[in-house]
């Protein structure tokens, strides 16, 4: 049975196709196993099943200024055979974020130019924070109990749906 997240991904995919863009192909089982192993080894983190299920559908999403990280960096090649952009990989991005000590309490799943979408390892909550004006320990109103809620908000943001939940 399709979940609301899969419905949102379908809408994003249809919207991308209207603009001649393609969604990333699914992550392979090997990609997902490698991600789980690498996240445990390098980040001491067990990747949530819902995130793995999303990556099994599309290995990262780049749309409307937002990016859901992939199992590993995903180059996007345009019709002319040129690299258009790359979707960043979860472990690589988090290793970069963790170079700054206070970020070691978080796992980042997605970003936009204005926001970060993350898991607070101390509280267990998932949240969205303004990447410029707010500290990660004060996410404000966008705090969720599950990663599914976080991803639903992210996908709605990709679709320009910013109404309050």
pLDDT digits (tens, 9 = 90+) for 12-21: 999 999 998 8
- Interatomic CA distance for residues 131 and 137, integer angstroms: 12
Domain membership flag for residue 165: no
Question: What is the helix (H) or strand (E) element at residue 87, kind and residue range?
Answer: strand 83-87
pLDDT band at 135 (very low <50, low <70, confident <90, very high): low
Predicted structure pTM score = 0.89
Domain membership flag for residue 67: yes
Domain membership flag for residue 141: yes
**Per-residue pLDDT averaged across 98-109, rounded?**
92
Domain membership flag for residue 163: no
Mean pLDDT lowest among 5-19, 33-47, 151-165: 151-165
Note the pLDDT of residue 4.
86
Catalogue the long-range contacts made by 80-85 (C-beta closer than 8 Å, 24 or more residues apart).
none
Domain membership flag for residue 9: yes
Note the pLDDT of residue 61.
95
Cβ pair 108, 116 in contact under 8 A? yes
Look over the chain and give the mean of its residue pLDDT values, rounded to a whole number. Answer: 89
Note the pLDDT of residue 132.
75
- Interatomic CA distance for residues 103 and 76, integer angstroms: 28
Domain membership flag for residue 164: no
Radius of gyration over alpha carbons of the chain, in Å?
A: 15
Note the pLDDT of residue 88.
93
Residue 11 has pLDDT above 60, yes or no: yes
Note the pLDDT of residue 14.
95
Residue 137 has pLDDT above 60, yes or no: no
Sign of CA dihedral 147, 148, 151, 153: negative
Note the pLDDT of residue 50.
96
pLDDT band at 134 (very low <50, low <70, confident <90, very high): low
Domain membership flag for residue 112: yes
Residue 96: CATH number of its domain: 3.40.1580.10
pLDDT digits (tens, 9 = 90+) for 53-101: 999 999 999 999 999 999 998 876 666 777 666 899 999 999 999 998 8
Task: Give the total number of structural domains in the chain.
Answer: 1
Residue 15 structural domain: 4-158
Domain membership flag for residue 39: yes
């Amino acid at each position: 049975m399709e979940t609301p997240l899969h419905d949102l991904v379908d809408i994003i995919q249809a919207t991308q196709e209207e603009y001649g863009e393609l969604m990333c192909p699914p992550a392979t089982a090997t990609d997902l196993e490698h991600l789980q192993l690498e996240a445990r080894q390098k980040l001491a983190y067990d990747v949530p099943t819902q995130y793995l299920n999303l990556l099994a559908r599309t290995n990262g999403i780049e749309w409307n200024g937002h990016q859901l990280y992939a199992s590993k960096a995903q180059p996007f090649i345009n019709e002319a055979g040129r690299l258009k952009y790359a979707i960043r990989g979860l472990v690589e991005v988090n290793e970069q974020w963790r170079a700054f000590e206070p970020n070691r309490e978080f796992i980042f799943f997605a970003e936009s130019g204005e926001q970060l979408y993350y898991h607070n390892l101390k509280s267990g909550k998932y949240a969205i924070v303004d990447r410029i004006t707010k500290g990660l320990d004060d996410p404000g109103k966008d705090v969720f109990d599950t990663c599914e809620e976080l991803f639903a908000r992210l996908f709605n943001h990709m679709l320009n749906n910013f109404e309050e939940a």
